[in-house]
Chain A
């Protein structure tokens, strides 16, 4: 579904290279986790994949279902089925969740020759999706993320994911800021959304999340690259020994450049 090959990206208009040759392959039905220390480029990777204009791809490609999407605008990528749950969801005063979601849902539907939903149908659809994440319906008419608590913002991202039903989602530290109850609810929601037709890439610092959403693959990102991939055991190893140890070990084995 997603294939990232030797991806290099820098900050637009500046000489700051952040991604330094990322390789990642995600198939339908898979759940991946990316872990890595602060500043290693995890969020940047997710933003570059979703088309953030702040970054420029200087080398490599991002293939989505075989199509190179590096030149596409963010909305066109969303129409193809990409979704980013932001690490820091933005507050947008004056635009309600419902307004955004209806506009987004129908725009995506149009782009894919699917039926749009009228306001009443959409209302029902939203109510149904609220259940996925146990969110109260009052959130529909509130301005996007405005005045939401940290946890509510993260929940709202997953709610949007449920509504837009993307093929591939990057969840950037969706677990940070959630208390244990919310973590369970959100994980539950993500597990409900996950299917054989879609794929999820979670970015996290904590192994705890992986107890609730079981990844098929775990990747370790450092200094703009994925330096090691494996299964859940990799996360356990990290939790036990930390990134430094792993880096040293890789250096010894001559794996890290």
Chain B
């Protein structure tokens, strides 16, 4: 007797109805699209090339319920997480739900919008751009966000406007009775020559299991400049699968920096699409993991037109039995000449049990390009450790300093003082744990 194996979908790991139904035609269309895709898209297995190395057990052994039926706790006082630079440009989402009380939006330049997507469902920019660049083919995760999101951050910058203070999108996750899924959404539309800094944070307040599937969309028109920092400090039991995507028009600049500190399982698929000549973008990352954490970055730098400049420095520190995966694709289309693309993945392995998989993947169809890539996996250099040690520092302190130095460069690209300070403290905490070497 032969049986056709029925493929599992995301829905196998979700309980209850997905109940989002927005009044906005645009959002509703995305919700419905998501529901269809959820049903028709197979959940990835180890047989799928892009999921070969990652162990998804911490997702598949769960049944995630919606936030409304998970018995989630209140956020309480979270003011410690506010950025002093963003006191009046802060949106707070608790488990994906917009919290107006904790948010503070004041004194924005004329016509700039920083607000809840659900209130701006009929805004032209939402109608035009929401969900247009996020079609991740055969993806089981983005559709969950599509299907279930109601709230979200909507940031709109009219032509030639700049928001001076960083816009802080603070996603807070609270303790809960049941494991839940949350669907933070962010749509950024920057018209010509607009400028902003976005700090997108994900913070787990407790140690509970949840599934965080954020989707962020950045549409930058000609000459728009955006600095986008993403800081992932989810609960150490959480699963975080994100889909950040950006599309750039001529002379646009998009510099993104993803910092991964939390979550049991982190899967990040950043994509930047060059939509016209002469753009400049960055897809940097810093991953500090230990224990049993898994962090997997599958990025795409998609050069479709000539004269693009792109940069990716992905730094990873692995301790204990943690596991890092990096797959960095660089696409250069046939007519995309004079692309200058740089990719480097540097891994620092602090333990015997840790694992690192790294794979650059270049698909270049143009002939006049400058693409460099490289990957290194190394331990702390014994001679460097001894040098510091011989000057009177304990061996542990010497190792700490070296790991700190390794991470420093990435932290310094945050450009927001309080964020840098916070991250340096995180790095110190990380290095204070046992560094086996």
Contacts and interface: CB of A to CB of B under 8 A. Distances in A.
Contact of A164 (B391, B394, B405): B391
A101 B388 CA distance: 9
Given A74-B386, A90-B383, A164 B401 contact: no
Contacts of B404: 94-95
B390 A50 contact: yes
A103 B395 contact: no
Contact of A90 (B387, B393, B409): B387
A90 B392 contact: no
Contacts of A18: none
Contacts of B381: 90
A85 B337 CA distance: 51
B384 A103 contact: no
Interface size class, chain A: 20 to 34
Interface in A191-215: none
Contacts of B392: 75, 78-79, 104, 107-108, 111, 164
Contact of A74 (B383, B389, B401): B389
A75 B388 CA distance: 9
Given A75-B395, A86-B387, A103 B405 contact: no
B53 interface: no
B301 to A, nearest CB: 26
A100 B391 contact: yes
A75 B389 contact: yes
A51, A99, A103: most-surrounded residue (chain B CB, <10 A):
A103
Contacts of B387: 86, 89-90, 92, 144
A87 B393 CA distance: 20
A99 B401 contact: yes
Interface in B370-394: 381-384, 386-394
Given A99-B401, A100-B388, A75 B394 contact: yes
B388, B392, B402, B406: most-surrounded residue (chain A CB, <10 A):
B392
Contacts of B409: 94
A150 interface: no
A54 B386 CA distance: 10
B397 interface: yes
B50 to A, nearest CB: 33
Given A92-B402, A94-B406, A95-B401, A75 B386 contact: no
Contacts of B405: 92-95, 143
A52 interface: yes
Interface in B9-46: none
B384 A51 contact: no
Interface string A44-80: 0000001111100000000000000000011101110
B386 A92 contact: no
Given A93-B405, A94-B406, A94-B409, A84 B390 contact: yes
Nearest to B406: A94
Contacts, number: 77
B407 to A, nearest CB: 9
A54 B404 CA distance: 24
A86 B390 CA distance: 10
A108 B391 CA distance: 9
A108 B384 CA distance: 19
A160 interface: yes
Contacts of B386: 52-54, 74, 90
A90 B402 CA distance: 13
Contacts of A108: 392
Contacts of A93: 405
B391 A78 contact: yes
A51 B402 contact: no
B391 A90 contact: no
A94 B408 contact: yes
Contact of B401 (A78, A89, A103): A103
Contact of A73 (B382, B391, B395, B402): B395
A199 to B, nearest CB: 18
A95 B399 CA distance: 12
B391, B394, B404: most-surrounded residue (chain A CB, <10 A):
B391
A77, A78, A95: most-surrounded residue (chain B CB, <10 A):
A95
A109 to B, nearest CB: 9
Nearest to A77: B390
Contacts of A100: 388, 391, 393, 401
Interface in B298-349: none
B398 to A, nearest CB: 8
Given A75-B395, A103-B397, A103-B401, A92 B389 contact: no
Contacts of A86: 387
Given A52-B386, A90-B383, A99-B401, A75 B406 contact: no
A51 B394 CA distance: 12
Contacts of B384: 90, 92
Given A94-B405, A94-B406, A78 B397 contact: no
Contacts of B393: 75, 100, 103-104, 107
B406 A51 contact: no
A110 to B, nearest CB: 10
A32 B50 CA distance: 64
A95 B390 contact: no
Interface in B392-437: 392-395, 397, 401-402, 404-406, 408-409
A95 B394 contact: no
For the complex of A and B, 7 pairs with smallest distance between CB atoms: A94-B405, A78-B392, A104-B391, A90-B387, A104-B392, A74-B389, A108-B392
Given A78-B392, A104-B391, 15 more contacts: A50-B390, A52-B386, A53-B386, A75-B390, A75-B393, A75-B395, A90-B384, A90-B386, A92-B384, A92-B405, A94-B402, A94-B408, A95-B404, A107-B394, A108-B392
15 contacts: A52-B390, A74-B390, A75-B390, A75-B392, A89-B387, A90-B381, A90-B384, A90-B386, A92-B387, A92-B388, A94-B404, A95-B401, A101-B391, A108-B392, A111-B392
Interface of B: 381-384, 386-395, 397, 401-402, 404-406, 408-409
